[in-house]
Structure 1
Amino acid sequence: MGFLQIEGKTFVVFGLANKKSVAAAIAKVLVEEGGRVIHVVRSEQRAEAARKLFPDSPVFLCDVEDEANIIRVRKEIGVAVNEGEGGRIDGLVHSIAYANYSEGLTPFHGTLKKDFLQAFDVSCFSFISICNHFRELFTKEASVVTISISTTSMAAENYGYMAPIKAALNSSVCFLAKSFSSFSDVRFNAVAPSLLKTSASAGIPGYVDSYLYAEKAILRKKALKTREAADLAAFLLSPRSSGITAQTVVVDAGMSVNYFDSEIVQGAVG
């Protein structure tokens, strides 16, 4: 048995869009370590991508913006794992986020209510709802991981209202851990990476410049790889992290301690 001890365990991964997705990277690690992965994606197009990347993994459709879809897919997955015969899932990944940046960069105070509430529904409430509806499908010591960001208090103008929503997601991790503790040992944690090169991030206005800045701020002068965030997620999903719950774990290669790097300072004032 490997170090992570996840051989033969079953994991549900929400959020794969394509091969560059964080969800895809996490699933790849889990499969490499002998885990069984069940994918849940938003559209048939994404389902096709998931089937090509993971031909041995079942794929289900669910647009989490409609809670009825979450209820339906939970029932479908219950059948797939033979719930009636005691089948359960050992872990779940929530790698879902959405923000409407179609109008480009706007000041935070100009955030539209409809955009904020939609982003909150998809990016944060879906996590709470999925955990609620899947609660009886979890093993007693299952692990749940969501994907956040390395800091929600750094006021990046281009990221805008998504930072407060990620802050709510981080808080939800703590409240879910407390709530579930009354009847189980299910653990809840968030992986909080610095800037990653994903197709989803490409839709954020000015993201490329922010990504290049992050490379300069990171101690090793190389951006974080999606695989590095995925490795942390796999660890948190495994029994090896049994003592970790209700945490937002930052993986940023030291970026948060290096904002006053001499090269950055000279570039700003020189």
Structure 2
Amino acid sequence: MIPAYKARIHEGKRGLIVGIANDQSIAWGCARAFRALGAELAVTYLNEKARPHVEPLAQELEADIVMPLDVREPGQMEAVFERITKTWGRLDFVVHSIAFAPREALSGRVIDVDRDGFLTTMDVSCWSFIRMAHLAEPLMTEGGALFTMTYYGSQMVVQNYNIMGVAKAALESAVRYLAAELGPKGIRVHAISPGPLATRAASGIPEFDELLEKARGKAPTHALVSIDDVGLTTAFLAHDAARSITGSTLYVDGGYHIVD
């Protein structure tokens, strides 16, 4: 169920949410928050296998646009933005919440990752955000906000995070460059770094349950964050009240990253 908030601070805003796989996804937490605050949404699903899991959630969001998007498939991303152009003619925000590494690349040492594994990881986890920014730019005629999801393993070596840490470091660098380039147009760019969350994507990381317990004990709040925590923070940053914040990595992790 979409929560009800009295303050509809995103009434009249329109945004694209990429990365909903199920009701445990960070992207779902973001979509719930934006919708509850009044925004109209476009939603994508990875493929036909994912469609039955995403379509009921899209219906709950009353999404105007629901389309497939596998960023590795030529033309699919462009088709999504063409549909947005025809349906809305503008865009206020984009949430990019996707990442992928082949299992052999993620589970092995960084030094052993082959070229194909490296390129696939970077393509899906980093370049796709740059490409989305490129396609969103002409639709954000009155400014806007672009969001991507990162993790602490971009800055510190986290056991079993491996090649994804390299990709997230590149992603955070891309956020800074995009923020500098798009800032004059009123477009802000953010990397959101949640603490460990039990999502479908995280299930591919070895010993992830141990990482969750470590985060719970280490964070100053002694609690794990939720997808709704991440969603509400993201929605705040999309508001005009946050118009002077851009180009940074914002941690939503109960303070996990500040404790040695």
Provide the TM-score with structure 2 as the length reference: 0.91
Once residues 189 and 117 of structure 1 are traced to their aligned partners in structure 2, the CA distance between those partners, rounded to angstroms, is 23
Q: Write out per-residue CA displacement over residues 63-109 of structure 1, whole angstroms, 9 at most, x where no aligned residue.
A: 1123422122211221121x2xxxx1111111110111257732222
Instruction: Verify the 8 A CA contact 2:151 2:194 in the aligned structure 1.
Output: yes
Once residues 74 and 141 of structure 1 are traced to their aligned partners in structure 2, the CA distance between those partners, rounded to angstroms, is 17
Aligned residues: 253
User: Structure 2 vs 1, CA of residues 170 and 4 (structure 1 numbering), >3 Å: closer, same or farther?
Assistant: farther
Aligned-residue identity in percent? 27
Alignment of 1:1-270 (within 5 A): 5-55=9-59, 56-57=62-63, 58-81=65-88, 83=89, 88-102=90-104, 105-182=107-184, 184-259=185-260
Query: Which amino acid in 1 is paired with 2:216?
Result: E
CA positional deviation for 1:242: 0.8
Once residues 193 and 254 of structure 2 are traced to their aligned partners in structure 1, the CA distance between those partners, rounded to angstroms, is 11
CA positional deviation for 1:241: 1.0
CA positional deviation for 1:151: 4.5
Q: Aligned-residue CA RMSD in angstroms?
A: 1.8
Once residues 107 and 52 of structure 2 are traced to their aligned partners in structure 1, the CA distance between those partners, rounded to angstroms, is 32
Instruction: Verify the 8 A CA contact 1:217 1:255 in the aligned structure 2.
Output: yes
Instruction: Verify the 8 A CA contact 2:154 2:165 in the aligned structure 1.
Output: yes
Structure 2, gaps ≥5 residues long: none
Once residues 168 and 106 of structure 2 are traced to their aligned partners in structure 1, the CA distance between those partners, rounded to angstroms, is 20
Query: Which amino acid in 1 is paired with 2:66?
Result: V
User: Structure 2 vs 1, CA of residues 101 and 255 (structure 1 numbering), >3 Å: closer, same or farther?
Assistant: same
Instruction: Verify the 8 A CA contact 1:197 1:226 in the aligned structure 2.
Output: no
Provide the TM-score with structure 1 as the length reference: 0.88
Instruction: Verify the 8 A CA contact 1:41 1:59 in the aligned structure 2.
Output: yes
Instruction: Verify the 8 A CA contact 1:101 1:204 in the aligned structure 2.
Output: no
Structure 1, gaps ≥5 residues long: 260-270
SS at match of 2:229: helix
Q: Give the stretch that moved more between structures: 172-181 or 101-110.
A: 101-110
Query: Which amino acid in 2 is paired with 1:73?
Result: V
Once residues 11 and 50 of structure 2 are traced to their aligned partners in structure 1, the CA distance between those partners, rounded to angstroms, is 26
CA positional deviation for 1:47: 3.1
Once residues 7 and 24 of structure 1 are traced to their aligned partners in structure 2, the CA distance between those partners, rounded to angstroms, is 19
